[in-house]
Amino acid sequence: MRAGTMRHRLVIEQPVMSDDDASIESWVPVTTVAASIEPLTGRERLSADQLQGETDTRIRFRWSPRVAGITAAWRGRHGSVIYNIGSIADAKLRHRELELLCTSGVNEG
């Protein structure tokens, strides 16, 4: 992975659950990484008589012990855009690079 492609600062956030473990109370920043953010596809849908857009995005960054425990329940934030993590891949299972497939646009978070 070339360092020049990782020009975005991505904040990785972990959810903090409420006392009853039924809902997310808040999001806590875990770390900030240099990442490559690549929009893949986009679509629009009609929900409650409102047009809502959603984008699939691939995010790549270097693996580190700070992100070793990342799960699909976590999220990423770049500026005002929130990325919901759909899947996580450790490229070649070598702990050098993580690839996240995320969606953005329609969020409750």
What range defines the domain where residue 10 resides?
3-104
- 72 found inside a domain: yes
- 16 found inside a domain: yes
- 109 found inside a domain: no
Residues 100 and 88 sit within 8 Å (Cβ to Cβ): yes
Q: How many domains does the chain have?
A: 1
- 58 found inside a domain: yes
pLDDT in tens, 4-46: 678 899 999 998 887 776 677 789 999 999 999 988 877 666 6
Angstrom distance (rounded) from CA 83 to CA 81:
7
- 93 found inside a domain: yes
Report the CATH number that the domain containing residue 41 is assigned in CATH: 2.40.10.270
pTM of the model: 0.78
pLDDT at residue 46, as a whole number: 61
Angstrom distance (rounded) from CA 27 to CA 79:
15
Angstrom distance (rounded) from CA 35 to CA 19:
33
Q: Is the dihedral of CA 13, 15, 54, 60 positive or negative?
A: positive
